């Protein structure tokens, strides 16, 4: 199976799109706690606020094709029909076969596609996905009564795939409002409305299948998973609770064919509402920024730090110099447990919590440091467009002889110009250089490599092999099962727990 990462708007095929007729207002929405016998009253009330998004884009025609050449009908990717249509039209294309070298450049053509959206303000504010309108030269919004309105792009946020459009109607439009997505529970009924395959307003129902899904689409992934059928063209459409409130924007599916198999993903309304408000007010999104490089806390890291309650929080690999975190007192090796009174259950929670915190907020941050919880206050800054950590090269330590760390399976050396050149170590990197790793050793198990730089051990900086060896031996005398090393390599800084084998004669690695 593969992830259809974005429900790309469906191409227009033969025949016009069908649209539903507006219906009278419905009675009060049913209780979200009651299993409905029908969704008809809810659908009648909500359908008029859901719109079709039609976009037009200029694309380069393939060589040898004429502007009136038919396009390949939409078929599920990978299906036999897709290959059949492509082969048939290639052989019978009016423009003939592909152009040969020396032929004139093909004439650009206009491509159309469809998506979905919903009205949140009667004056004409429409929400959809960024990928529905990305690259469009012209955007039109089609209402349920088939009225077509030219739309202007107010703002877009590719990071969360949210876009805001504005139309200028002659009369107030039916609108829906955002609900509280945090109250949606696994098992709650939900209704999706959109424009699948360009057919017009369509309603599907299902339940919330899961919360907090990370589908590797971005840093702020926190999707609602639903089994309500979502297909191509549903992108940008709303996911409603039974109170008729929007709790999600339908965005992606997991599918082997491009069609629904009951695994769809929606952007939570609590995230989308904040993004949409910022786009509407200023045309761009201002995100909070902490200025840290973080990594996941594993069970071994938690044990190394004596972290009570097991693996949780986000481990600070580096507090960027001059950043808000460093200015507020956050240090390398701290584990962030709470930010602005919100629990940080795991690493990926922290970027989203910080991003949603208003710029300028003085946020209390609870960290685990030196075996206990401490609280520092950090002033949240705005995420720079291009975060660059400027660093200067401090004075170089005096070169040291190579030392073997018995029991860990590696040899280390002090930093030298020769080692910098040999391993392409940047001037600002300083510490103890790993020069050799024994296969099968604890260092090899943790994928340490020659050229990696050991910066700290158990949150204490080391600058020479002798310091490093002494720290390791001291931890062994304390009967520590493992030690936490701050490693800087080609991929940046990370914390690595290493088992401390006894350093006895003849012990491996």
Active site (catalytic) residues:
131, 161, 235
Pairing between β-strand 162-166 and β-strand 148-157 as defined by DSSP bridges:
antiparallel
User: Rounded to the nearest 5 degrees, what angle is found at the Cα of 298, between the Cα atoms of 458 and 388?
Assistant: 70
Distance between CA 226 and CA 244 in Å, rounded?
16
Would you state the structure tokens that stand for residue 66, as one six-digit string? 């004429």
Distances from the Cα of 422 to the Cα of 357, 392, 404, 412, 434, angstroms: 44, 21, 19, 14, 12
User: Measuring CA to CA, which residue among 161, 385, 378 is closest to residue 287?
Assistant: 385
- Using CB atoms within 10 Å of the CB of residue 175, give its burial: 0 to 12 exposed, 13 to 18 middle, 19+ buried: middle
Helix (H) or strand (E) holding 460, with range, is: strand 460-461
Distance between CA 45 and CA 507 in Å, rounded?
74
Distance between CA 410 and CA 441 in Å, rounded?
8
Cβ neighbours for 162, distance < 8 A, ≥ 6 positions apart: 127, 129, 130, 156, 249, 267, 272, 275, 276, 279
Distances from the Cα of 402 to the Cα of 399, 417, 419, 442, 471, angstroms: 10, 15, 12, 19, 16
Distance between CA 225 and CA 222 in Å, rounded?
10
User: Measuring CA to CA, which residue among 262, 258, 260 is closest to residue 82?
Assistant: 258
**DSSP label at 30?**
P
Distance between CA 348 and CA 296 in Å, rounded?
8
Distance between CA 476 and CA 482 in Å, rounded?
9
């Amino acid at each position: 199976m593969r992830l259809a990462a974005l429900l790309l708007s469906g191409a227009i095929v033969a025949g016009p799109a069908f649209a539903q007729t507006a219906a009278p207002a419905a009675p009060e929405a049913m209780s979200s706690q009651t299993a409905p016998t029908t969704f008809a009253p809810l659908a009648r009330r909500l359908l008029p606020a859901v719109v079709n998004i039609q976009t037009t884009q200029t694309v380069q025609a393939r060589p040898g094709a004429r502007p009136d050449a038919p396009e390949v009908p939409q078929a599920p990717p990978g299906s036999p029909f897709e290959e059949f249509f492509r082969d048939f039209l290639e052989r019978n294309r009016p423009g003939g076969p592909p152009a040969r070298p020396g032929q004139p450049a093909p004439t650009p053509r206009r491509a159309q596609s469809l998506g979905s959206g919903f009205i949140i303000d009667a004056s004409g504010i429409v929400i959809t996905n960024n990928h529905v309108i990305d690259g469009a030269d012209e955007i039109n919004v089609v209402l349920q009564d088939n009225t077509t309105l030219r739309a202007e792009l107010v703002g877009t946020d590719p990071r969360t795939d949210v876009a805001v459009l504005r139309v200028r109607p002659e009369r107030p439009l039916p609108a829906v409002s955002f609900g509280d997505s945090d109250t949606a529970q696994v098992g709650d009924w939900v209704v999706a409305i959109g424009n699948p395959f360009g057919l017009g307003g369509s309603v599907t129902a299902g339940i919330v299948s899961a919360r907090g899904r990370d589908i590797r689409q971005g840093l702020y992934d926190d999707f609602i998973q639903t089994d309500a059928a979502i297909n191509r063209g549903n992108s940008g459409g709303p996911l409603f609770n039974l109170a008729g409130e929007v709790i999600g924007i339908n965005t992606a599916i997991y599918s082997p064919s491009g069609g629904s198999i009951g695994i769809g993903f929606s952007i939570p309304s609590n995230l989308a509402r904040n993004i949409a408000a910022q786009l509407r007010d200023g045309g761009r999104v201002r995100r909070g920024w902490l200025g840290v490089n973080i990594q996941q806390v594993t069970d071994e890291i938690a044990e190394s730090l004596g972290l009570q309650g097991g693996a949780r929080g986000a481990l600070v690999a580096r507090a960027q110099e001059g950043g808000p975190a460093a200015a507020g007192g956050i240090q390398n090796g701290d584990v962030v447990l709470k930010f602005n009174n919100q629990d940080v259950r795991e690493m990926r929670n922290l970027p989203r919590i910080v991003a949603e915190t208003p710029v300028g907020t003085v946020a209390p941050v609870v960290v685990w440091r030196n075996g206990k919880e401490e609280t520092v206050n950090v002033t949240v800054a705005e995420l720079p467009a291009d975060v660059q950590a400027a660093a200067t090269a401090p004075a170089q330590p005096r070169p040291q002889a190579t030392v073997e760390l018995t029991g860990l399976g590696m040899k280390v050396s002090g930093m030298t110009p020769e080692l910098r050149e040999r391993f392409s170590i940047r001037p600002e990197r300083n510490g103890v250089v790993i020069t050799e790793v024994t296969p099968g050793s604890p260092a090899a198990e943790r994928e340490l490599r020659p050229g990696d730089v050991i910066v700290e051990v158990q949150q204490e900086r080391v600058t020479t092999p002798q310091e490093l060896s002494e720290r390791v031996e001291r931890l062994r005398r304390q009967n520590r099962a493992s030690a936490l090393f701050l490693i800087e390599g080609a991929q940046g800084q990370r914390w690595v727990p290493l088992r401390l084998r006894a350093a006895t004669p003849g012990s491996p690695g």
